[in-house]
C-alpha cells in the first residue's frame, strides 16, 4: 500500500490533541506504552515477576484509601468490574488495579446524600440495577483508570482527584467532567449538609451521565477502557524518594527493594468524543450491543451497497493477537486499509476486493496508513471479504 503525503483522518475525529508536541503519537504514528513495549520484548511472565516479586517490597501498612487494592482485594467493586479487572491483569501483568478519578470515599458520600427519589433517578440514568448500592457508584467505568496497584505508584493522590492530562495541560474529556464533580462534592462536604438539594444533584448526575456516555462511546460498550498510555516508569530519583519516605515512616525496611514504580504522565493523544452522536442517547443504549458504534463480535453483516458475494467480519484482540507487527503484515500481504462510515470502524480488504468498491460513498481512503494503528490495535477492525 503506497503512502501518500495527504492526511485523511477519520471523519469527525481530531487525531492530535490541542497543543500536542511533535512526537510519533502526535503525528499519527501511535507508539505503544512503555509497559506494553516491555510485555512484547521480555514477555508477560517476566514483567509479572518484576512487578510482583515475593518479599521484594515489605510495606507495614498504608494510610491511603486504596490499601485494599495494594493487597489485591477489590471489595468495593461490583462483580462485573472485578471480572473485567481480573481479565485485564491477565492480558497486562502488573496492571491489576482500578484507580478512581473521583475517589471511592467521595462516591460513597454522593450515594449517602441522595434522597430516595434522587437515588432512583440516578440508577435509571446511569443504567444501574434497582438494587444497586454504593459499590455500583464506585464501579462506574468512566471513573476508572486501569493501572498498577497503589504500592507501585510514586504519586498516588490517596483521597484526592486522580485525573488524566494532555501535554497541553488540559484534562482528558472524562477527567474534565469528574474534576468538576470533585470540586462540587468538595464544597458540598464542607457545607456539612446531610442531604443534597435537587439543583446540585442534577448538576452532579449530569456530569456523571455525560462521562459514562463518552466512556461507552470510546470503549464500544465495554466496561473497562484498555488504554494504558497515561502510565510511564518513575525515575530512579522518584523511586528513591518514595522509599526514603516509607523508611522514615517505618513502613519499609531499609534494605528492602521497591518493585518497578510508575507514575501518570501527560498524554500526547486524547479521545475526541462525537458529542453530536451522543445527543438523545442514554447510557443504557450506548452499553447495549444493538446501539454500539461497532458490530457485535464475530457476527458478519452484509453491506447493503455491496454485492451479495461480500460480507463484513469483525476482527479484534479477542479473536487474534493484534499489535503493530501483525497490522503491518496485513498491509504487506496486499490488504488495503480504509474507513467505513457504515461500520464506523477502520477496515481491511484485499486490494482486489477494495478496487471493486473503492468509489462507494461508504468508504474513505486512508492516505496515511499509520494514522489508525493505535485504534485498530486496541479495538480491532472490520474485514470485507467474500462469503464463505
Task: List the single range of 72-76, 219-223, 248-252 with lowest mean pLDDT.
Answer: 72-76
Task: List the single range of 45-54, 188-197, 211-220 with lowest mean pLDDT.
Answer: 45-54
Task: Quote the CA–CA distance of 292 and 200 in Å, as a whole number.
Answer: 31
Q: Which helix (H) or strand (E) holds 339?
A: strand 335-340
pLDDT of residue 215: 94
What would the mean pLDDT of 7-32 be, rounded to a whole number?
Answer: 35
Q: Which is higher by pLDDT, 171 or 45? A: 171
Q: Which of 150, 146, 153 is nearest to 233 (CA)?
A: 153
Q: Which helix (H) or strand (E) holds 346?
A: strand 345-350
DSSP class of residue 21 equals: P
Task: Quote the CA–CA distance of 87 and 100 in Å, as a whole number.
Answer: 18
Task: Quote the CA–CA distance of 270 and 169 in Å, as a whole number.
Answer: 12
Task: List the single range of 88-97, 286-295, 313-322 with lowest mean pLDDT.
Answer: 286-295
pLDDT of residue 242: 92
pLDDT of residue 44: 53
Q: Determine the length of the chain.
A: 388
Q: Are 384 and 16 in contact (CB under 8 A)?
A: no
Q: How far is CA 359 from the centre of its chain?
A: 35
Residue 190 has pLDDT above 90, yes or no: yes
Task: Quote the CA–CA distance of 62 and 192 in Å, as a whole number.
Answer: 27
Over the stretch 290-304, which tens digit does the pLDDT of each residue have? 555 443 343 334 444
Q: Identify the residue whose cell numbers are 486512508.
A: 366
Residue 93 has pLDDT above 70, yes or no: yes
Q: How confident is the model at residue 213 (pLDDT cuts 50, 70, 90)?
A: very high
Q: Which of 101, 103, 125 is nearest to 114 (CA)?
A: 125
Predicted TM-score (pTM) of the model is: 0.60
Q: Which is higher by pLDDT, 252 or 367? A: 252
- Residue ranges of the domains in the chain? 34-290, 294-386
Q: How far is CA 196 from the centre of its chain?
A: 31
Distances (CA, A) of 99 to 65, 137, 196, 257, 380: 11, 14, 26, 24, 25
Task: Map residue 348 onto helix, strand or coil.
Answer: strand
- The set of cell numbers assigned to 289 is 450491543
pLDDT of residue 57: 32
pLDDT of residue 290: 57
Residues facing residue 373 across a β-bridge: none
Q: Identify the residue whose cell numbers are 433517578.
A: 121
Amino acid at each position: 500500500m503506497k503512502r501518500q503525503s495527504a492526511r485523511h483522518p477519520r471523519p469527525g475525529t481530531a487525531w492530535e490533541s490541542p497543543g500536542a508536541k511533535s512526537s510519533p503519537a502526535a503525528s499519527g504514528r501511535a507508539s505503544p506504552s512503555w509497559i506494553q513495549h516491555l510485555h512484547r520484548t521480555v514477555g508477560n511472565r517476566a514483567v509479572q515477576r518484576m512487578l510482583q516479586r515475593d518479599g521484594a517490597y515489605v510495606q507495614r501498612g498504608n494510610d491511603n484509601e486504596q490499601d485494599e487494592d495494594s493487597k489485591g482485594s477489590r471489595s468495593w467493586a461490583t462483580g462485573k468490574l472485578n471480572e473485567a479487572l481480573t481479565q485485564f491483569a491477565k492480558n497486562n501483568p502488573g496492571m491489576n488495579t482500578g484507580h478512581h478519578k473521583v475517589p471511592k470515599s467521595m462516591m460513597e458520600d454522593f450515594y449517602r446524600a441522595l434522597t430516595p427519589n434522587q437515588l432512583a433517578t440516578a440508577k435509571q440514568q446511569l443504567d444501574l440495577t434497582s438494587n444497586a448500592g454504593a459499590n455500583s457508584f464506585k464501579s462506574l467505568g468512566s471513573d476508572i483508570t486501569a493501572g498498577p496497584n497503589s504500592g507501585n505508584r510514586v504519586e498516588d493522590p490517596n483521597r484526592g482527584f486522580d485525573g488524566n492530562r494532555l501535554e497541553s495541560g488540559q484534562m482528558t474529556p472524562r477527567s474534565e467532567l469528574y474534576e468538576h464533580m470533585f470540586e462540587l462534592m468538595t464544597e458540598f462536604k464542607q457545607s456539612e449538609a446531610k442531604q443534597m438539594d435537587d439543583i446540585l444533584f442534577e448538576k452532579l448526575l449530569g456530569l456523571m451521565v455525560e462521562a459514562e456516555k463518552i466512556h461507552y462511546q470510546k470503549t464500544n460498550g465495554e466496561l473497562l477502557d484498555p488504554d494504558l498510555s497515561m502510565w510511564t516508569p518513575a525515575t530512579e530519583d522518584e523511586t528513591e524518594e518514595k522509599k526514603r519516605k516509607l523508611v522514615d515512616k517505618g513502613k519499609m525496611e531499609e534494605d528492602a527493594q521497591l518493585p518497578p514504580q510508575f507514575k501518570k504522565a501527560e498524554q500526547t493523544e486524547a479521545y475526541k468524543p462525537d458529542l453530536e452522536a451522543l445527543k438523545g442517547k442514554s447510557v443504557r443504549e450506548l452499553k447495549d450491543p444493538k446501539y454500539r458504534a461497532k458490530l457485535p463480535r464475530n457476527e458478519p453483516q452484509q453491506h447493503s451497497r455491496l454485492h451479495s458475494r461480500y460480507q463484513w467480519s469483525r476482527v479484534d484482540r479477542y479473536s487474534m493477537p493484534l499489535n503493530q507487527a501483525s497490522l503491518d503484515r496485513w498491509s504487506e500481504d496486499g490488504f488495503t486499509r480504509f474507513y467505513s462510515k457504515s461500520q464506523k470502524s477502520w477496515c481491511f480488504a484485499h486490494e482486489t476486493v477494495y478496487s471493486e468498491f473503492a468509489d462507494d460513498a461508504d468508504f474513505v481512503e486512508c492516505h496515511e496508513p499509520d494514522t489508525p494503528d493505535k485504534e485498530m490495535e486496541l479495538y480491532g477492525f472490520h474485514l470485507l471479504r467474500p462469503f464463505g
